[in-house]
Structure 1
Amino acid sequence: MDKLNVRPSMKIMSPLNLKLWLFILLGASGNAVATDGTTDIAKSYPKQYKTWEATQEQSEREDVLANNPRNVILWAGSSYAKEYHTPRGHQFAVADVSHTLRTGVAPKAGEKGLSASCWTCKTPDAPRLIGELGFEGYAAKNFTDLGSEIKNVVYCSDCHESGSEKLTLPRPHARDAMAKIHQPFEQQSATVQGAQVCGQCHVTYYFRPEKSNVVNIPWIFGNSADDIEKYYDTRRFYEWIHPISKTPMLKARHPEYEHWNRSKHAELGVTCVTCHMPEAIDENGKAFTNHKVDKAMPYFKSSCKGCHSSQEKMKQRLTNLKHEINAKAKDVEELLVKAHYEAKAAWVAGANWEQMNDAIMDIRHSQWRWDFAMSSHGIYAHNPEEGRQLLNKAIEQAKSARSSLSKILKQLKVEHVYYPDISSKAKAQQAVGIDEAELVLEKKAFIEEEINKHWDPVAQRGY
């Protein structure tokens, strides 16, 4: 990887001095003025700053649970069954994590709430707080306890060393992870470092319960779905017990870096930056890096034309791949929904763990592969071959689970399995005991009394 071709160096935005972060971020017009003599980023790098500001245009999002209620059943028992939307631009990173039902409200006195680790990839204030509190001290805090400390959205210092264009990985879990796969950040080419900078957040992770819930990227054996599964199984780790099937569940979280790392794009030196932050030319003919972090297709001529001759053919190929991946994912989902309820019927009928072990493990492993494929934003473009393999294996494992369960149900003389109506998000949430209306009212009160009054305005952006 460190021998990939490197695109010529271009002027890119330098990070802000810590003292300026709040001031600059609140300057919605982009005409921020430094108060301590430090270079004004908006004036020194106007093109980069303006394109970074343009991430506010990426305000649209879709309700994934409404579009596909099967997800509610698969994620039952976790916060993902409460709310899950497609991502928006970097400008909304703090507001979206603040407002989502997944992060809930402040815990009651004496109760342990959601870990502050949920802030880690949303703001450059997270590395600052980690430095002040220590990684475990930071993670041990409640998410809501640090809300008033969060004053900045994803910004320069998330990627660049202070006062320099030099790339950096400010998050300790990311530095550790790159070393685990024998790609230590400081030994990589600028091209690979650019991808790793994106990969510090666009990557799967979990919270280590034995270390105060610090963020950890599970790459000890490698970063494929099989390697990570081996790590989790070896540790007997699970994130929650599925309330329907009693399966100890795993959750994948946007593993874009992992998929890219094994892709044809990676082999050719094409990275996240190449496609999503392409070179642009200003009115004076000078090159700069577009910091809008946008979809690749609008920049076909600058990003893709070197390898792809026709934009229309490329669009059609991506459409076909997306349809194929989504169709396979639907097959897995339908099999798993039934498997969860068939496992429930077996438990109710008196099944024991010795009987259920194989089926439960097949459910765990099948859903892990489905999630590892579909929680990645755009696997049909980033690595369709791996997406196809993951989903084919997930189908095989889900069928194996149902085959085992069929035999168990026959032994227990169960003739009927109840499958609820999950034709809508509301019906699916009702089936798993989620009262969305109640959660919304509770969250709304917290937003009005805490976020709107005591948190920085960036926590309200877009709402």
Structure 2
Amino acid sequence: MNKQLALFKQNNSKVLGMTKKCVASFVAVLGLASCFAASAKTDINQTKFPDQYKTWAETEEQTEREDMLASYPANIILWAGSSFAKEYHSPRGHQFAVADVTHTLRTGVPPKEGEKGTSASCWTCKTPDAPRLIKEMGFEGYSASNFTDLGTEINSVVYCTDCHVDGSAELALPRPHAQNAMSKTGIPFEKQDASMQGAQVCGQCHVTYYFQPEKSNVVNMPWIFGSDTDNILKYYDTRRFYEWIHPISKTPILKARHPEFEHWSRSKHAEANVTCITCHMPVEENAKGEEFTNHKVDKALPHFDKTCIACHESKEAITAQLDADKHEIEAMAREVEGLLVKAHYEAKAAWDAGANWEQMNSAIMSIRHGQWHWDFAMASHGLYAHNPDEGRMLLSRATSQAKMARAVLAQVLAGLKVDKVEYPDISSKESAHAAVGINEAKLSEAKQMFIKDEVEKHWNPIAVRGYQ
């Protein structure tokens, strides 16, 4: 074990030591593919960092994605009333960041005159053009703009200035929401060590957030009280904030968004100084025996001998543990989803029967809190690997809160003489969409017309990458 720890320290030291030298090249070349293709000249980053460029280019191989609503149709009911109920896919490689956010039904099409469309804040973590536009327009001016109105300004996928001082290997945090969040926690970026800075540049986007309505929908990280689930919930409840009113249960809903950084920061990996870079960007050797950081930003297990062996004795053992954790977390999540779906419809039945807020307040708050804890767990990609203990805790709490909501609702329904509740068919995405009145085919038709008439003609080709 001592030998393993020594090897871990040696490998981790290499990774951290190369953060400013090698990781720089990762972000230095991101997003330059379109420029390279359009230019007869060889890109300088490809010349200076050929190994890093080659492995970065391989992110275009990461084309597989899962239709999460087809796999988990109960989510459509839980997210009814929001754009997440329309379409929700698992993420692909960084090369597709701009195209995927352009094509998803969640960003819609240009709004009708007099209507408020999707905020340009949806571009914030997809491109270095977002920080540029924020500087030019001001944070609120940028976020008050419509998503589609700024489409012609988006010319690059993730790029060097997303994580580095322009033209330098020095790490940077260009997004205002991340700068503000680190100031709130009392550890501004410039005072962090290289390890935490390396994690934070990933964490400026792989983190939960919301759009701040009183500031024209600027991106904000709700960390005033802390970044754990309960303190974020305290922040939202104190502000009486909600993202939408659920059309079925009238619950003021909160939405978590890929909180990988938060889960990692409280994990055994973080305690051991194992960061995103350690696991997902391992150090490798080229044919000349020169070390470089792999920039494909991929799963860790395929690189077990470089990323995991210092702390884990066998690939088979860790794979078995990951499978067991994933199976347990998935089973817990499905139970919570079923309970929450029923709670939403039981609340509807109570409202329809004449219930008032005095009767419903406790149940509605339990639905709100239960769905928040479930979402904070399941919105995080790779939770079963990053922090399974926190995942189990969150889902256990969500289960208790969902059951509490249903127990209160059962009493309310009994008092109102309601003895039957109609529940939706959630056996498929199609049936769940029908239950909440979403016509995916009609939405897709409008989206494709917008892509054909606007995006393909006037936007940068990166906006259709992977959809040709």
Say yes or no: TM over 0.5.
yes
Alignment of 1:279-318 (within 5 A): 279-318=283-322
Which of the numbers 7, 12, 15 marks the counterpart of 2:22? 12
Q: Residues 175 and 204 of structure 2 are in contact (CA less than 8 Å); yes or no, is this contact kept in structure 1?
A: yes
Greater alpha carbon shift after TM alignment, 241-250 vs 23-32: 23-32
- Distance, in Å, in 2 between the alignment partners of 1:15 and 1:161 is 12
Q: What is residue 96 of structure 2 aligned with on the other side? A: 92
1:272-330 CA-to-partner distances (Å, cap 9, x unmatched) read 00001111111111111111110011111111110001001000000000000001001
Partner of 1:37: none
Q: 1:429 to 1:22 in 2, by over 3 A?
A: closer
Residues 373-395 of structure 1, C-alpha deviations (whole Å, 9 max, x = no match)? 00000111000110000000000
CA contact (8 A) 2:76 2:85 kept: yes
SS at match of 2:224: coil
1:178-225 deviations in Å (ceiling 9; x for gaps): 122222111111111000000000000000000000000000000011
Contact 1:13–1:156 (CA<8 Å) still a contact in 2? no
Query: Aligned residue for 1:170?
Result: 174
Which letter does structure 2 place at the counterpart of 1:26? C
- Preserved CA contact (<8 Å) 1:17 1:162: no
- 1:454 aligned onto 2:458: yes
Mapped contact 1:95–1:461 kept (Cα < 8 A): yes
SS where residue 12 of structure 1 aligns?
Answer: helix
Q: Does 1:26 align with 2:30?
A: no
Which residue of structure 2 aligns with residue 193 of structure 1?
Answer: 197
Are 2:63 and 1:53 equivalent residues in the alignment?
no
CA RMSD of aligned residues (A): 1.9
For structure 1, the residue ranges without an aligned partner over 5 or more in a row are 35-39
Amino acid at match of 2:181: A
Q: Alignment partner of 1:270: what SS? A: coil
Distance 1:405 1:53 in 2: 54
Structure 2 Cα separation of the partners of residues 116 and 159 of structure 1:
21
Tell me the equivalent position of 2:148: 144
SS in 2 for 1:55: helix
Higher helix share: 2
Task: Return the alpha-carbon distance in structure 1 between the equivalents of residues 23 and 248 of structure 2.
Answer: 49
Structure 1 residue 13: deviation in Å? 5.6
Matching residue of 1:237: 241
Kept in 1: contact 2:377–2:391 (CA 8 A): yes
In 2, Cα distance between equivalents of 1:384 and 1:29: 45
- 1:335 equivalent in alignment to 2:339: yes
Q: How far has the Cα of 1:421 moved from its partner?
A: 1.2
- Check the 8 A contact 1:359/1:404 in 2, yes or no: yes
Equivalent in 413, 420, 427 of residue 423 of structure 1? 427
* C-alpha distance in structure 2 between counterparts of 1:102 and 1:208, whole Å: 18
Deviation at 1:17, TM superposition (A): 12
Contact 1:32 1:42 in 2 (8 A): no
Structure 2: how far apart are the matches of 1:175 and 1:289? 26
- Any gaps of 5 or more consecutive residues in structure 2? 1-8
- Aligned residue-pair number: 454
* Structure 1 counterpart SS, 2:100: helix
Distance in 2 (alpha carbons) for counterparts of 1:85 and 1:438: 19
1:110-149 correspondence to structure 2 within 5 Å:
110-149=114-153
Is 1:215 paired with 2:219?
yes
Paired residue for 2:4? none
Q: Percent identity?
A: 66
8 A Cα contact 2:322 2:384, kept in partner: yes
